[in-house]
Structures are given as structure tokens and as C-alpha cells.
Amino acid sequence: MSQAANIQTELAGRRIVLGLTGGVACYKAAALCRALTGAGAAVRVVMTDAACQFITPVTMQALSGHPVFTSPWDARPDDGMAHIHISRDADAIVVAPASADFIARLAQGRASDLLSLLCLARPAERVPLLLAPAMNREMWAHPATQRNLRQTVDDGAHVLSVAYGAQACGEIGAGRMLEADQLLEEVIAFFAPKSLLGQRVLITAGPTFEAIDPVRGLSNRSSGKMGFALARAAREAGAQVTLIAGPVALPTPALVERIDVQSALDMRAAVLAHVDAASVFIATAAVADWRPTQYAAHKIKKDGSDQPPALALAENPDILAEVARSPRARAGQLYCVGFAAESGDLLANAQAKRERKGVPLLVGNLGPETFGRDDNVLLLVDEHGATELPRASKRQLAQQLVTDIARRVAGVVA
């Protein structure tokens, strides 16, 4: 299945009420509506009068494919109870943007418009409420707003984070609504099974870069996509995730702590600084086996002799093996997963590497067939044998692998 096809199934069968309140961030709500429908969700849009000043119901109807509701007096329901029928038919209500005024009304239990009515009337035990705040930085920081946000959380709402940056008023600060793709990721994460809830997961991803001089170095073709997909999937599964990334150009998954490193020695130092707090360690990084023994302070230039400069190499430390031999790993307090990127004879090489590293699970793949791609085939090797995860997007494979790791951590190996 392609990456695009996978995205189209992430929210298949989900019924989302998308609420819009007053704010310039309504333009992002249009993109969010399209993203939600693109992920397979059925979207019903409810707008406040203030929202209609920023974007028209006609636009939202065209994007959602369904009529938009704006008034509690809407005559379309036979019994005039739109706030009841819309809320009962939803799997979740997402208010984006959620203005300071709307959040205050929720905190006070007021219901003066259709959107606040259906938020108040929803069956809270089965219809979650997600709020995506959007407001000026001073409004966001105001004690009343923060107090109201805490009250909505106490009342069962899920408040999403805000972004920091330039605001429509010209000021810069916290309070911007997340972008549509970030909000989609949050909605998908909300519905994901929490199989790693309470776990702290440490992941390494990408290549390392072993500098020769200021402009050259030794590295490999790893893109980091598999490790980043695993970080996102683990976070969605309820884990607290720290991602140690080599030099890659990938966005950080939401609510994942990211630590950027360059060399293998940098990565080792970062791993050792954080692994004591982890319960699961997943080493997806393609760490360089060798590094130059000397670093030239200036670019090494050709001298016309047709002779390349002598390049002496030293072996890099084996980060995974070192962690797997630690007392916590040996005592079963830290579950270690390794990755092997091979160029051939995958099963034999993966089995040998698992034994050599001393890890319970080794995930093998053919590097030349996956570096930089969005899909892959994985071979899971443990003491019982090997299981193949057929070709799929790295997003799908990450979800499958996280589910498998969660079972193993819980002591139930399929």
C-alpha cells in the first residue's frame, strides 16, 4: 500500500464534528477539514457567528461535503434539536480554532450558541472534546485564560498545544493554532490504542557523520524516516519518547523530545545520558562503524601529486551492544531492539547480529532497497526464529512494530 493510500485509511469510519470559533486561524480549519476527510473521516462542521466573519459556511460545506450548522434554531432537524443529534452521532468533537472567549464559555458551562450547546450536551464518556486554542500571545498568557483552560481539562476536555511564532496582529509569541497537518496528527494520535502507556522510549535514528575536515566526512544513506516513524507511533501508543537524531532533514513528531547529534561519539553520549530513564531502547540509527583518527582544521586540498591523503580510521563504539550489556537491560528493566541494514543474506546476517549484540529483538532490512524510500520490508528476528513484515509504508510498519514491541514488553510474545 502506498503512503497516500495509508493516509486515506488513518481515520476511516470516524465521525468528526469540526467546530470553528472566531479567529483568523479559521483559514487553517479549512485545511484541517480537507485533511480529516482525506484521512477517511466523515466531517460535520459547526460554526459560531464569529467564525462566519472569517470564513464562509459555503467554503466549509464544499470541503466537508456536508451541510454546515451555525444556529441552535436550525430548522433542518425535525425536532429542532441539532445540538443533540450532532453530538450523539460523533466519535469526537474538535474545536479548531478555539478562541479565548469560547474557552471561557466552556469553563463556565455557558451554552449561548450551537457549538457550545453541543459541547455541553455531548455524552462525555464516549464523545471526547479536543480544543485547539488560537489567540494573541497576551490573551494566551493571561491568568484568566490559563485558569479557564485548566477548568476545561478538569471537565474532561483535551487541550492541544499551541505554536510559537508571528501572529496576525504583528506580534510574536505563543498562541498560534497548530498547522493542519499537526492537528491531523494529534487527532490520529488521540484514537490510537495506548499499548505503550506509561513506557519511556528512547530511539536513535538517521546516519552519523564522521568529519574528516570542515567540509567532508564519512556517512551513509540512511534518511531517518523509519526511526522518526517509530517515534511518532510510540508517542501515539502512549509512550514518552526521546528521539536522538543524526543529521537528517525531517520534522519532529508532535510531543517527541528531539536531540540532534552528528557523530557516533555524540550519539553514544546522548544515549548514555538518557537511557537510564528509559524502559525501551530502539536503535534504528545507522551508526558509522569507523571514524577518522584525525580531524583537519582546514579543508584538505589536492596537491597535484595524484596521491590521496592517508586516512587512518578508528572503530566507533557499539552503542547498542553497550546498552544491551548494561545492568538494567540484563535485569529486564530495559527492553532493547536493534536494527540491521544489510546488503544481502538478510536472515543469516540479522541472526548473527542479534547474537553479537545480545538483544532480544533484531529488525533486519536491506539498506540499498530502503534508504530514502517511504516503504520497506522488515524481518523480525528473535530467539524463536524470524517473522517478515511485508512491504508497506514505513508509517504502517512502525505501527505494526510498536504493537509487537508492546506485546513483548508486556511479556506476551506472539
Question: Which positions are annotated as active-site residues?
Answer: 169
Long-range contacts of 317-321, Cβ-Cβ distance < 8 Å, separation of 24 or more = 317/264, 317/265, 317/268, 318/357, 319/204, 319/264, 319/267, 319/268, 319/271, 319/283, 319/285, 319/287, 320/281, 320/283, 320/357, 320/359, 321/356, 321/357, 321/358
Retrieve residue 53's grid coordinates. 466573519
**In 325-411, which ranges are continuous DSSP H helix?**
327-330, 346-357, 394-409
69: Cβ–Cβ under 8 A, 6 or more apart, which residues?
44, 45, 46, 47, 76, 82, 86, 114
153: Cβ–Cβ under 8 A, 6 or more apart, which residues?
159
How far is Cα 359 from Cα 173, in angstroms, rounded to an integer? Answer: 45
Judge if the upstream peptide bond of residue 123 is cis by omega within 30 degrees of 0. no
CA distances 376 to 3, 116, 358, 366, 401, Å, are: 11, 45, 25, 9, 12
Taking each continuous run of H as one helix and of E as one strand, the counts in the chain are: 15, 19
How far is Cα 340 from Cα 321, in angstroms, rounded to an integer? Answer: 13
CA angle (403, 412, 328) in 5-degree steps: 90
Do residues 105 and 131 lie in contact, with contact meaning Cβ atoms separated by under 8 Å?
no
Q: For residue 90, give the amino acid letter.
A: A
Beta bridge pairs of residue 281? 202, 336
Q: For residue 33, give the amino acid letter.
A: C
How far is Cα 302 from Cα 296, in angstroms, rounded to an integer? Answer: 14
